Structure 1
């Protein structure tokens, strides 16, 4: 499954807000420094979809707030 995710770093309440089945807004506590926000995003998605972190890959947007992420079952 591919997801289009808009990341909002430096939030007090982390979580996912789904706009549709393939689009969501990820509220992340971590700042966008040294990949910390990306790591937290992968952890958040892994908990939500109940899959190992290895099954989640950021396909595009590593340094952008808009990302395309692949989640494998």
Structure 2
């Protein structure tokens, strides 16, 4: 599960206890810009292509479920 804070400072925190990622993005959630930034940050953190990161649930929410295809 990913918790998102919009219009905030850039940061990404991996909480291994709760199996959550807390991510802050500068983009506002308009026209999918924040979702694109989330995908870019997660792909960079896990060192995968952006095509291998997909938002499964929560496109319009600040709590998201994301698939990451690691190769």
User: Given the two structures, how large is their TM-score scaled by the length of structure 1?
Assistant: 0.89
Q: Equivalents in 2 of 1:70, 1:30: separation in Å?
A: 21
Question: What's 1:16 paired with?
Answer: 12
- How far apart, CA to CA, are the structure 2 residues paired with 1:18 and 1:32? 22
What is the TM-score normalised by the length of structure 2?
0.91
Q: State the 4+ residue runs in structure 1 displaced beyond 3 angstroms.
A: none
Structure 1: unaligned runs, 5 residues or longer: none
Secondary structure of the 1:39 match is helix
**Matched residues in 2 for 1:27 and 1:43: separation?**
12
| RMSD, aligned α-carbons | 1.1
Aligned residues: 69
